[in-house]
Each structure stands twice: as structure tokens, then as C-alpha cells.
Amino acid sequence: MNPIPESVLNVKGQTRYIDDLPEAKTLLHAAVAASPCARGLLKGVDAGAALALHPSIRIITAADIPGVNQLGTAVADEPLLVAAGSEWGFRGQALALVLADSVSLARRAAGLVTFSFDELEPVLDAREAAAKGLIILSPRTQAMGDTAAAFASCATVISGRVESGGQEHVYLETQAALATPAEGCAMRVISGTQHPTGVQEGIARVLGLPMHLVEVEAPRLGGGFGGKEDQAALWAALACLGARVTGKPVKLVLSRKDDMRMTGKRHPYSSDFRIGVDSGGKILAFEADYYQNSGAICDLSPAILSRTLFHAASAYRIPNLRVTGYMCRTNLPPFTAFRGFGAPQAFFVIEAALDAVSRRTGIDGAKLRRQNLLCDGDSFHFGMPVENCRARLSFDRLVEKVKWESLRRNIDSHNAKDPLVKRGAALMPICFGVSFTKLLMNQGGSLVHVYKDGSILVSTGAVEMGQQVSRKIARVVALAFGVGIERVRVERTTTLTVANTYPTAASTGSDINGMAALAACQEIRARLLVEAATLLGAPAPELSMESGRVMRNGSPTPLSWDELVTRTHEARIDLSAHGFYATPDLVYDMKSERGSPFAYHVYGCAAVTASVDVLRGTWRLDSVSVVHDGGESIDRAVDIGQVEGALAQGLGWALLEDLRFDEKGKLLADTLSTYKVPDFHFMPEKVDVEFLEGFPNHRAVMRSKAIGEPPLVYGIAGYFAVLDAIAAARRTAVGGEGPGLYDIPLTPEKTLDCLMGARP
Amino acid sequence: MNMDSTIEFLANASVIRVEAWPGRPALDFIRGDLGLKGTKEGCREGDCGACAVLVGERLADGGFSYRATPSCLLALGELDGRHLVTIEGLASCNGGLTPVMKALLEENGSQCGFCSPGVVIALTAWLIAGERIDETGAVIAVEGNLCRCTGYGAIRRAAKRLVSDFSGLPAGPMQRLAALEKAGVVPPALAAWVMEEKGAANSDAGMAGGLSGADNGETMVSAGGTDWYVRNPDPVGGYHPFFIGREKAYASIEAAYPGAEARQRGLVIGAAVTVHEFFTSAFVNSIVPGIDSFESQVASSLIRNRATLGGNVCNASPVADLTAILMALDATVVLAGPEGERETPLARLFLGYKKLDLREGEFLARFLVPASRSRFNFEKVSKRRHLDIASANTACAIEVEGEAAAPRVVRAAISAGGMAAVPLRLWKTEAFLAGKIVDAKNVREAAGLAVSETRPMSDVRGSADYRRRLLERLVIAHFIRLFPEAGLAEELFP
């Protein structure tokens, strides 16, 4: 195998993340003094004790902001620093910036800054916020058919409530930024962001500069997962503010604890559903109300809610559907993008509804799900036709692969014999729409240089954060030029090389940026082939490039890549190009909630088995099997890594990661010793990922499919596998009617409570 | 007052000699002063493994050890006389890519890369010193390394590759090190350092005047530091750390009466004995057969290399795993102070929440663990099975007589952690059990009684109600595990 150059640096410890960069002698380190309670009115900042600590200490407040004290885009509710006389909205919100000679001093001084304020009554619960009218923008509804009429004709109608908790990203590299003042009032920033242009825009606004004076570079990130999409701008802008005020470079690296308490996480949801089926189990109607706990700041909540609504029906055909989402403003940290982006919460609700149906009616869960799967010719509830549907294909392949029926029988016979360990299994399909649901964002640019020695440099808007998008783009480029991948270097994203980018998010990183890179390559390639035609005296249409050589009608010519490049350059022909791509055929009318907002959908199916220790109330994941619709993979190793990584995060969300706040809005799980993410032992030894072969996707680069987010949703099957095992242990707890409450994460505490009948 | 002292050690292949405050976290020195940025800071509390380094030590018996440890929890002073190996040191091997690195690359086990140096360090330590070169051994080696990208599958596959490549390593530590050097897993600096004629870094000087400043609060006894640095992630000095683990007198396990058979007499266990040493000690396993099977429930392998019994007890957490275990083993603590030594039962050491019966200038020197004929069990439930603090834990030592199907309790000792402000011995439950037949009725009653002896709190690790329910189940679990022939499971969980 050809190792990924960046990975070689990783394993040797030579990758430079922001905190590893050489430091200027004049560098100042920053820390943030944050709000001490969930909601308060700031009256004043007392920096006396902090300043007394060391002469190098500087305290910067909202009054020092030269431009507009606002980072919010959808809603202007996100001040850089809360100004005296204003309210803050969550515990951990930035009130003052502290600068010092060393990071240790800065952090200690930040702890010494005190505030005079009036403490105000916080609202923490989404439903309470909704009842009080604390709704961001307005509720949004999508509907198809006539649910009221349909429910009347159903054999079974079930209502229920579903809760899903928040999730901390735990990117291993915390939020970080390094700002360096440049000539004039220009600013150069290295920011750990998935969205360089967003950071650039925020800084420009806060410093009162045009965007062309702000250069933002996104180096390789130590993980992002959505947490550095909108949430990185604040730290970069604060570093810039410090740099502007002092004229010195400023580095801001959050400690893990500050990162956990100050930054956004996955949105907790509280939802109500109502589902109706006919006597055979065919879904006739589904309704849901999603109360999204949006936290104190709007952030990306509207886009996340939008994805919830689009995925309300998962991979199922539901002729009558009505779903409404509420963005509830509370006094918790700003909940934000996290891999899956509102879809996992929606999938959990519909899966819970189907679980309830299966338990009530006695219809086998797998049969129930299969008979309701989408097919070509159906349409999604927002009017988009279902095309190239692989729901049944992947479902059936999975059932065959795991031998579902015999697996179930084995579990039942085990459970009949073992009083202390019960096993369970669950199976679920997915259907995940790819594209930003905000149309505007589905565009991207690239810049490709072929240097005269034949080496190639590619820049795109795709930020590398471990998802190995660079690998995929390098492959696309290498293939376009017919050269080995070692010739291609994918450069970090900066606003100098590619302008007006959109975040590397929504699984679209390689789709959009790969296409943009390809567009630039094709332009250069055409120029090269014209030159080759001259050199070889052959018509250009007969020529192609492969294996580092120009080919004529598929046969090698004497003209090598190196020579062609040299000769083309000597002929004074441009070896650089800018590429651009806008995802075609996307239309959506927000008013009627109708259109085709996605380029295509990703399908797949997962089966999870788990064991519950009846005595201790603990669970263990035994196996995960996945059949995934990944199109033609650009790089299979990368795709497997994405599926396995997403699975771990999805299973972690469903079972383990317990984002707890106290009754005053203080995050209790604010360190890695209290907030546990999947470790080596958590993941089952047996994780079997199979890709559907032979199903190219003609709507993305190199017939591939986006891979980042969809597999995270499979984690939900982990919840239902454990629930199934609990049901085997205590039929009355979750058998029959199903649990009174479907509640993620299903921690050992909840498991034992279920087993001992202490929960509904 | 100047608290600096001279610290001299080998960092990769360079001799480092500094005047510095020995309590400074090694991580900051490595990244800041040495400029070795390959060692990453992920959490600063030993929970992620990104800052893992190898620390080499020459032992008093002429042997050596290289162990992986999180450098955020390691005092700079602990490096004195030792060999620090960072990822840069490993990357200095022939060609720059060691077989461990290659295995990770070939299996695509490095995505964002932030965890990769720590993973390489942990797997390398496992090849140097791992007790088992198999997949299980590899997983234990990296259990303290969090990776948020890969889902661990690729790292597991890389480990499997290493298992097949290195299963034939020679048994002797020195031969093994030489083989690994030859294979390019470690640079020559390791064996060269081990061979140096400098002797062990440990002193035999006992207290060596270490607590001279204790009466004015200027000295602090540091064992492994794995709890202390979590509470003080950014310490600013102001005292002399006294590294108790460097004193042989406090870092070894011995039979209480030299010459007598350990099983009859019990053990003297130094307070600075590490958790790993404790669980794997032949002495300890001879008086508590099978105790090694509980090791994996405590912390992670990275932490177990540093965390000590004394530190775990003196941190005074009401839910400390080793406290629960030692309490049920009826341990006595020996406290050393300016007026000499005194003994007290471990169960009496805890006066209140995080408050110990330790007088000014006193420190915990060693444990006395009596031998017994009891069966031992340890139960712990935490949110995550590994490297997590318990919601509740309990250990139990029960001596029985009579037939296996209906044994009679002679004597029971049961501890409970996380169930009150201090670690508990469940005295009433123990008294109830004495003389009782182990049957479903008595076990159920004992479990109920156990709960009545506790006063748990609600916190992030569980509600008070949950803890009560859990303890009830864990007490039952003791009996089901210890008396499989008594038919308890079938009767209690029909």
C-alpha cells in the first residue's frame, strides 16, 4: 500500500497541529474568563487580582472590540464577548480575554477575573422553553397526505415520548487559534476550523475589516466532527482581537475543561410521536414534534432542525406524515453541528415508534421494517422522488449475511437457559440525504498547480481533520492526470488560495471539493493534451494520460508526463487552473416545504447484538454488522475508517456518552474523567462492514458516495439491541407495550433501573 | 525560596541536566523546554493517552523496565536518573518508521493523527515488556489511549499484525530488547542506557530526610501522582515533592516474616507499590488467589504503571478501587511520622469526606495484609467498563466451612465504595453473615442490610437511588460468583 504522506507524519509525531507550531518570541498566550452561572446580567469586570498576578497580564473586554461585537449569522445573538449591561446566556460564555507571557499564567489569571452581575433564572429544559415562548425563529412543519384521516383508519395507533441526550465532540485536539498581526491592519490567523471563510467573515466583522485583510488558514485538525464548524470562529476572533489590541501574535488553545464547558455539542432532543399502522403492519401515518434544545445561541440550529425534519421518516415509506420542529432557546451551551446533524435524533424517534409497534402488535421487528422500506417510484415527504433506492437491497443482504432468523433463534435459546446474561439484537436501515440543506452552501472551489517538475499541488475548501478527504482528492487528481498519487500534494485550506468556501461538513467534503478539483484538472489536462497533440502530431481526441504517460488510443506513446509538462511550460501555456463546482439539480421551496434538496441518498443497514448482565445492569456490545451503500469507493480503506469511526461515535451516543448538567445549568461531565467516550474495550471485537458492490453513484465524484455521517446513525441499533436484551430479562419492563420512555443514552444506571422496574 | 533541584536524565539520545522545580509536569517540560511536540496534550488528566511517553528505569535487582505512562501525570523530578523516550526517539530508528508505525500505516490506523504518537508509544512499550504478545495483551496496552476517529478497528488490525510479526520474541528482557532494536522497533539508545554502569536510580535510604520540611508544609509526598496531577493540572510549586516510589523501602512487596511461608503470615506491601505490581505480584496472588483477574477493572494499563496503592488510599476518594480491595482484605496501614511509626486498621483511616487520620508530617508508608483462608471477590460498575471511576464498588473476603452446595460463613469482610462520604466496611452485614448458611434468603437479606448501612449521594456517576440498587446487586454478585455451587442465580433470578 502507498501510505498517506500525512499519516506518515502522524505516526512519527511530526504533524504540526496549532499548538505545535514554532512560537514567536513576542507571542502572548490567551485564556478566556467565562460566565460563572447559566444566565446573568453583566455589570462589571474586576481584573484587579488577575492583573496583580504578573506584569505581562492584559485583560480585554467587549469595550475593546473595534468592529461589531457579533458572530451570529442566522440570528444576531452571539457576541464575541458579553458587554457590560448585557445578559449572558450560558455558564461558560466568554466575558473577557486574558493575555499573558505563558499559558499557565493566562489560565491562572483568567480564574482570578471576577464579575459583578445579577444572576437570572435560567431555563434549561426544551419543553419548558417552548412553553414560555422561547423559540428561535419559528416552528417549522413538513407534511404529506392527511394524517388525521389516516389515523382513523389504522388498526393500531401508538403515541410515545423519546429523549436523546447531547454529545460532546471530544476531538482530541481542543479548539485553537494563532493570530499574527500583519502589515497595516491585516491579520493572519491559523485556526482549527472546518470553515475558514466563516472564521474570516467573523474576524472581519469583529475587527471592522474587509475580508481581504483577513487571511485564514486551516491546518490539519486533530478531529472536528462538526464541533469546529461554527464553533471555531469565536476562538479565532478572540485571538485576533488580542493581537489587534496588543500588536503581538496571540495564541489561544483551550484546555480540555474549558473546551468542554465553553463550546457547543450535539443537540439534546425531546420528542413526541404518534404512529399508526394497518393490521399487517404497514405504516399509514406518522406525526412527531421535535423539541430541539438549541442552547443559548442559535448557531447552526436551524440547519440541524431542517435535517431532522428531512429525515423524519428514515428509510420508510409513510404516506401520511406531519412533523414539526421547535428550536428552543435555553441557558445551556450553544448546541451545534455534530456528525449526523439532526438526523440521528430523527432516526431514533421513528425507530422508537416502530419498536413500540412491534412490541404492541407482536409483528417481528425485522419484518415490520422491511415491508415499509422505500422503493424507487416512492417519494419523500418533501416531494423528492426516490431514485436508485438501495434500502431493500442492503436490508436483504444484511439479513442474509448475519443469518438473522437463526441469530434470533440462537439468542432466544440462550436467553431461555441463562438467567444472568440476556442477549439481544436489533436491525435498522438508514437513508441519509447528501447535500447541505441550505442550497447556497453547495458550492466549492479549488486551485490546482502543476509545477514544471511534474509535481502537482491542489488546494480546495476541504479541511483535513482526519476524515482523509485529502487522500480522496489526491486520488481524483492523480487519476485525472494519469499519474501516481505520490505526485500529488493536497495543500491545507487557506482563504488565499480558495475564496468563499463553505464548511467541510454534511459529508460533502469530497463530493464538492473533489469535483472542484476535478474541474481544474480537466482544464489543465485539456491544455496539456493540446500540446501533446502538437508534439505527437496526433489528434487530441485520440490522446489520454495514464501511468505517467500520454496514450494514443489506449497505447503508450514516447511522451511521458514529465516531458509533457516541461514542454507545455516551455510553450508558455498556463499549468494552473481554478476549479469550481456547484451541486446541480438542487431545488427547494421553503414556503411549500417541497423540492429536491439532496443530490442523492445513502442507504444501508446494520445489525447489532449485545448482552446485558442482568445482575449488575451492565451491557456489552457483542457484534456489529453493516451493509453499506457507498457507491464506487475512491479509497476503500478511507471509507472503512469512516464507517468504523462513525459507528463508534453513534454507539457512544446511544449507550455511553452522558452529557449531564445540574439543575443550575452547570455541565457536570466536563472532563474526560467524567464524560466517557468509547474506548478500545467498548467496541465489539466483531465489527463487519461490507459495501454494496456494483452500484455506482452517478451524482458524485468518481461515482462514489459521501461517507462521513450516514454510518453514525447505525449506532442507534446498539440502543435497541440492549433494549431487546433487557426485554428478555424482564418482559414486563419493556415487553408488551415497550418502554414508557425511549431514552438515549441507555447507561448502566438506566439499564439497571429498567431491570429492577424502577423505570417505566 | 528556591525549590529547584538538579535533574539529570537521558531524553531519547541526549543527556539533559536542568535546574528545575521537580514537581513540574513532565509533559510541559517535554513540549516546552525540550521542544518535543510529538507528545500531545489531550486532556491533562491521564484519560486519553495522547501524552504517553516511555520511561526507562534501572532496577535495584540489576534489571530494567520501560513503561508507558501519561506524561501529564508525571513529575519532572521522577525522570531524574531515568531514560525518557518520546515519539521522536522512536522515529529516530533506522529509516524513521518503526514496525509499530508501519503497522498503523498499513492498516490506516491513524486518521486525524492526534492520538497516534501515544498509540505508538503504548504498543512499543507492550512489545518491550508486555506479559503477553497476543491480541488481548495489545488491547490492554492501548486501553488507555482514546481515539475518536477510527473506532479502534484499524488499530486492532495493526496490533494483530504486530502479534504475528513479534510472537517469537525471546523471553529474557535484555534479549527481547536486543531483538526489538534489531527489528528497528526501538533505537539503540535503550539498550545502551540499560547497559550503562550506573546502577539503579532507586535509593535504599528509606526516608532519606525526605520529609525534612514537612512540618512547615513545604514537602509533599508524591507517589504515582496520578490523582495529584488530576487535582493540580497546573501546579505552581511552593513545596518539595518527595517521590516515595523511589525509595525501595516503600516500593516493594515482602512476606511479613521473612523465611516463613507467605500464605501463613501475610504481606508487607509498600505504599508506593504500583497497582500493576500489586495485581501481578506472586506474593499477593499466593494469599489472595485469583486477584490478578480484577486488574483490568482498575484504571488503564498506562495509569496502572504509575498509580500506587498508597496514593489511591491517600487520595481519600470514597470510591477508590484499591481502598475497597484492601479494606476487604483487612489491611492495616503503617503511618510514618516525625515521632516514628504507628499502625491503624485501614477502615479507621477515613475520618470524613477526603479527610484522613494523618497527623502533621505523617505519611502512609506501607500496608500489612494478613493471610486468610477467605475467598475474595471484587465488583465494580462504572459507566464505561474500563478506565472509569465506579458508580459503586465493593470487595468481599469470605471464609466458609461445610459443603459446597450449602456452605456456612465463618467470617465475612465486605467493603463498599461510592456509598458514603468515606469508603465503608459493612460491619452489620458482616456480623449478620457470620454463622449463616449461604442461601438465597440469607444473601438477599445481607444485600438489603448492606444497603441500609450506606448513605450515598447523587452525582455525575449515578443517583443515590441507583447506587443503593447497585450495591444490593453487587453484594448478591459476590455470593453468586464465590459460591457457584450454591444455586443462587437460579433461585434469585428465575
Pairs across A and B, CB distance < 8 A: 244
How much is the pLDDT for B213? 40
Q: Regarding predicted confidence, which is higher, A280 or B234? A: A280
- Nearest of A39, A55, A54, A134 to residue A87 by alpha carbon: A39
How much is the pLDDT for B209? 41
pLDDT of A199-213, one tens digit each?
A: 999 999 999 999 999
Contacts of A673 in chain B (CB under 8 A): 45, 47, 230, 389
The full set of domains in chain A, from first to last, is: 5-121+169-262 (3.90.1170.50), 269-437+592-755 (3.30.365.10), 443-582 (3.30.365.10)
Instruction: For chain B, give the number of residues.
Output: 494
Contacts of B476 in chain A (CB under 8 A): 615
Within the 372-391 window of chain B, which residues sit less than 8 Å (CB to CB) from chain A?
379, 381-389, 391
How much is the pLDDT for B207? 45
Q: Give the count of alpha carbons within 13 A of A392, CB side only.
A: 13
Contacts of B154 in chain A (CB under 8 A): 640-641, 644
Label residues A80-118 b or e (16+ Cβ within 10 Å = b): bbbebeebbbbbbbbbbbbbbeebbbbbbbbbbbebebe
Q: Does the CB of B153 have a partner CB in chain A at under 8 Å?
A: yes
Q: What is the bridge-based pairing of β-strands A493-494 and B355-356?
A: unpaired
Quick check: B367 and B274 in contact, CB under 8 A? no
Q: Does the CB of B234 have a partner CB in chain A at under 8 Å?
A: yes
Sign of the Cα torsion A503, A507, A509, A514 reads negative
pLDDT of B169-227, one tens digit each?
A: 999 999 999 999 999 999 999 999 999 877 665 554 444 444 444 444 578 888 999 99
3-state class (DSSP) for residue A476: helix
DSSP per residue, A657-707: ----B-TTS-BS--STTTS----TTTS-SEEEEEEPPS---TTSGGGB---
Q: How far apart are CA B349 and CA B343, in angstroms?
A: 10
Q: Does the CB of B86 have a partner CB in chain A at under 8 Å?
A: yes
User: What's the distance, CA A216 to chain centroid?
Assistant: 21
Q: How far apart are CA B414 and CA B453, in angstroms?
A: 12
How much is the pLDDT for B208? 41
The answer on pLDDT for B27 being more than 60 is: yes
Q: Is B151 close to A683, i.e. CB distance below 8 A? A: yes
Q: What is the mean pLDDT of residues B345-366?
A: 94
pLDDT of B127-177, one tens digit each?
A: 999 999 999 999 999 999 999 999 999 999 999 999 999 999 999 999 999
Contacts of A671 in chain B (CB under 8 A): 43, 45, 47
Query: Which of A3, A618, A640 comes nearest B105 by C-beta?
Result: A3
Q: Is B113 close to A685, i.e. CB distance below 8 A? A: no
Query: Which of A221, A641, A681 comes nearest B386 by C-beta?
Result: A681
What number is the ipTM of this complex? Answer: 0.97
Peptide bond into A745 cis (omega under 30): yes
The one-character DSSP state at B376 is E
Q: How far apart are CA A672 and CA A60, in angstroms?
A: 30
The answer on pLDDT for A682 being more than 60 is: yes
Q: Is B43 close to A16, i.e. CB distance below 8 A? A: no
Residues of A forming the active site: 709
pLDDT band at A372 (very low <50, low <70, confident <90, very high): very high
How much is the pLDDT for B200? 61
The answer on pLDDT for B67 being more than 90 is: yes
Q: How far apart are CA B271 and CA A326, in angstroms?
A: 57
Task: Name which of A94-98, B217-221, B338-342 the model is least confident about.
Answer: B217-221
- Nearest of B112, B130, B109 to residue B120 by alpha carbon: B109
The answer on pLDDT for A29 being more than 50 is: yes
Quick check: A218 and A194 in contact, CB under 8 A? yes
Whole-number average pLDDT of chain A:
96
Q: How far apart are CA B112 and CA A466, in angstroms?
A: 3
Q: What is the mean pLDDT of residues A130-135?
A: 98
Residue of A679, A726, A754 to mutate when probing chain B, most B C-beta within 10 A: A679
Q: How far apart are CA A530 and CA A539, in angstroms?
A: 8
Q: Does the CB of B157 have a partner CB in chain A at under 8 Å?
A: no
The answer on pLDDT for A734 being more than 50 is: no
Residue of B nearest to A221 (CA): B112
The answer on pLDDT for A760 being more than 70 is: no
pLDDT of A427-476, one tens digit each?
A: 999 999 999 999 999 999 999 999 999 999 999 999 999 999 999 999 99
Query: Cell digits for A420?
Result: 444472568
Q: Does the CB of B323 have a partner CB in chain A at under 8 Å?
A: no
Quick check: B162 and B103 in contact, CB under 8 A? yes
Q: What is the mean pLDDT of residues A126-155?
A: 98
Q: What is the mean pLDDT of residues A557-572?
A: 98
How much is the pLDDT for A72? 94
Q: What is the mean pLDDT of residues B91-118?
A: 95
How much is the pLDDT for B262? 54
How much is the pLDDT for B474? 98
How much is the pLDDT for B259? 59
Q: What is the bridge-based pairing of β-strands A40-46 and A114-119?
A: antiparallel
Q: How far apart are CA A189 and CA A216, in angstroms?
A: 5
The answer on pLDDT for A283 being more than 50 is: yes
Query: Which of B104, B145, B382 comes nearest A11 by C-beta?
Result: B104
Q: Is A748 close to B391, i.e. CB distance below 8 A? A: yes
Shortest Cα distance from B62 to chain A (angstroms)? 32
Task: Name which of A326-340, A393-407, A635-649, B202-216 the model is least confident about.
Answer: B202-216
How much is the pLDDT for A216? 98
Residue of B nearest to A259 (CA): B43
Q: How far apart are CA B432 and CA A298, in angstroms?
A: 59
User: What's the distance, CA B65 to chain centroid?
Assistant: 16
How much is the pLDDT for A737? 54
Shortest Cα distance from A727 to chain B (angstroms)? 14
How much is the pLDDT for A749? 96
- Nearest of B75, B67, B394 to residue B240 by alpha carbon: B75
Query: Cell digits for A721?
Result: 439491541
pLDDT of A637-662, one tens digit each?
A: 999 999 999 999 999 999 999 999 99
Q: What is the mean pLDDT of residues A29-33?
A: 98
The answer on pLDDT for A691 being more than 50 is: yes
Query: Cell digits for A357?
Result: 409497534
Distances (CA, A) of A564 to A535, A546, A575: 9, 13, 11
Distances (CA, A) of B448 to B418, B429, B465: 17, 9, 13
pLDDT band at A735 (very low <50, low <70, confident <90, very high): very low
pLDDT of A472-493, one tens digit each?
A: 999 999 999 999 999 999 999 9
Which amino acid does the sequence have at B32? G
Task: Name which of A15-29, A324-338, A506-520, A735-749 the model is least confident about.
Answer: A735-749
Q: Is B143 close to A468, i.e. CB distance below 8 A? A: no
Q: Regarding predicted confidence, which is higher, A195 or B246? A: A195
Query: Cell digits for B24?
Result: 513540574
Torsion of CA B64, B70, B71, B75, to 10 degrees: -70
